Amino acid sequence: MAIQKLIITELNIPELLKTAMELPKTGYLEGSSNYTYLKISDAYIHQLFPFVQNKKTSKPDYFNKYSMGAHITIIYPEENRIIHLEELNKEHCFKVISAFSTIIGTKRYYALKVEAASLLQLRRKYLLPDNLAFKNHWIDFHITFAVSKIIN
């Protein structure tokens, strides 16, 4: 199956973007044997989640006291790349571009699109395309702050 571009719906919530712009724009590279991400402030979840006015919406499932919390994925496990240990714990900056929602499978994801030149360079260093491949879709760097199940 060919990888597809996501259908994106821009979120017109000025206060959400204003709040996001006031949050820290740096994080530290973390990862496991096959998953790499930029750990960012959990305020991205706590402060942005309330702007989504939908009773069916919840915080992302990776956001509990035993998980990574707010983050920007850099390399997914299915991309089969392991970064060198010396890359970990380095600080990277990013820029918030917009807020959007998209549907993948049976879930609607609410997220911020972000840009980060240093993260893009890291993907290129490991011979990965600029966009991430997630569940047969091309996606940009992003911060997911809410998820809802789609009821058929």
Q: Is 136 left (phi over 0), alpha (psi -120 to 50) or beta?
A: left
Task: Look up residue 43 and give its two tokens.
Answer: 């305020």
Q: Please indicate, yes or no, whether the overall pTM of this predicted structure exceeds 0.85.
A: yes
Give the pLDDT mean for 90-118: 95
Q: Which pLDDT does position 15 carry in this prediction?
A: 96
Q: Do the Cβ atoms of 81 and 134 come closer than 8 Å?
A: no
DSSP-derived secondary structure letter, 46: H
CA atoms within 13 A on the CB side of 14: 0
Distances (CA, A) of 8 to 33, 61, 104: 31, 21, 11
The pLDDT tens digits for 48-89 are 999 997 778 988 887 666 678 899 999 988 888 888 888 899
pLDDT exceeding 90 applies to what percent of the chain? Answer: 61
